[in-house]
């Protein structure tokens, strides 16, 4: 008789999972040392004003690579050469953001004015995951964006609020860190206000924990959320979480001002 092995309940595919939820089927609490370390990476959120409208440069990844099919900001893994003979991770991250913008979008943006405003690490899990420095800057130049048609299949300058609406309708795919960043950008009226406010704040660190809320919906939690320490999204209290319903993302952040 043939015996079929059964996956533990925590490992079964979740029918309540949003298609842009990249955090794996197993969302049980686990320790960093039980899995490979997160790979250092960096990205640049590049803003411009166009016809009186604030826009951000976004790139569309091809399906066969990490973050495949999603819209992202220019960026990628930090290489050894990004350290430029030193050992400063922050300097290397800035250099990587500059380099990746050249490689992915065909434009050179000086890194001197980059503002480091957030850092994102997914929950511990098997396989590759990336610990990513997020920088932001702006440009007044009308750049001719050049993509390779291989890893990057399309690009667009888009208003942050419009990008969120297009994600809600399923027109574009966004990972959680990209979604939250666009949400943050959408709260500001001008690029000048965006850069000033983010430059004055301490960089926000998102060490992601996962759980399910009382409705059974997969939920990311960050520092300040009542359920963060216990990886338990059913705990009531202050919120700093993204509920990833199959129908869309919903951000709750009573504990943190955006």
Domains in the chain and their CATH numbers? Answer: 35-206 (3.90.79.10), 208-258 (no CATH)
Do you know the residue count of the chain? 258
Residue 181 has pLDDT above 90, yes or no: yes
Quick one: pLDDT at residue 183?
98
Helix (H), strand (E) at residue 76: strand 75-77
pLDDT in tens, 50-94: 988 999 999 998 866 665 689 999 999 999 999 998 999 999 999
191 in Cβ contact with 49 (< 8 Å): yes
Above 90 in pLDDT, residue 176?
yes
Answer whether residue 8 shows pLDDT above 50: no
* Mean per-residue pLDDT, 180-185: 98
Of the candidates 208, 206, 240, 218, the residue with the CA atom closest to the CA atom of residue 123: 208
Q: Which of 6-15, 127-136, 160-169, 236-245 has the lowest mean pLDDT?
A: 6-15
Quick one: pLDDT at residue 244? Answer: 96
pTM confidence score: 0.91
CA gap 40, 165 in Å, rounded: 30
What's the pLDDT at 66? 64
| CA gap 106, 131 in Å, rounded | 24
User: Which tokens go with 252?
Assistant: 């709750």
């Amino acid at each position: 008789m043939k015996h079929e092995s059964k996956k533990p309940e925590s490992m079964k595919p979740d029918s309540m999972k949003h298609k842009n939820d990249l955090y794996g089927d197993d969302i049980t609490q686990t320790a960093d040392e039980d899995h490979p370390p997160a790979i250092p990476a960096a990205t640049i959120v590049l803003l411009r004003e166009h016809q009186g409208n604030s826009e951000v440069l976004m790139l569309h990844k091809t399906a066969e690579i990490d973050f495949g099919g999603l819209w992202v900001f220019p960026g990628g893994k930090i290489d050894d050469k990004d350290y430029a003979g030193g050992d400063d991770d922050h300097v290397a991250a800035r250099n990587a953001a500059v380099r990746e913008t050249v490689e992915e979008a065909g434009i050179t943006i000086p890194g001197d004015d980059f503002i480091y405003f957030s850092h994102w690490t997914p929950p511990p899990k098997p396989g590759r995951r990336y610990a990513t420095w997020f920088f932001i800057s702006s440009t007044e130049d009308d750049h001719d964006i050049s993509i390779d048609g291989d890893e990057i299949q399309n690009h667009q300058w888009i208003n942050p609020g419009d990008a969120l609406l297009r994600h809600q309708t399923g027109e574009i795919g966004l990972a959680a860190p990209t979604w939250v960043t666009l949400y943050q950008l959408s709260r500001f009226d001008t690029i000048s206000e965006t850069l000033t406010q983010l430059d004055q704040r301490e960089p926000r660190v998102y060490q992601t924990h996962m759980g399910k809320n009382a409705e059974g919906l997969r939920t990311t939690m960050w520092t300040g959320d009542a359920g963060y320490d216990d990886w338990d999204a059913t705990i009531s209290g202050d919120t700093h979480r993204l509920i990833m319903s199959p129908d869309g993302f919903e951000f709750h952040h009573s504990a943190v001002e955006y």
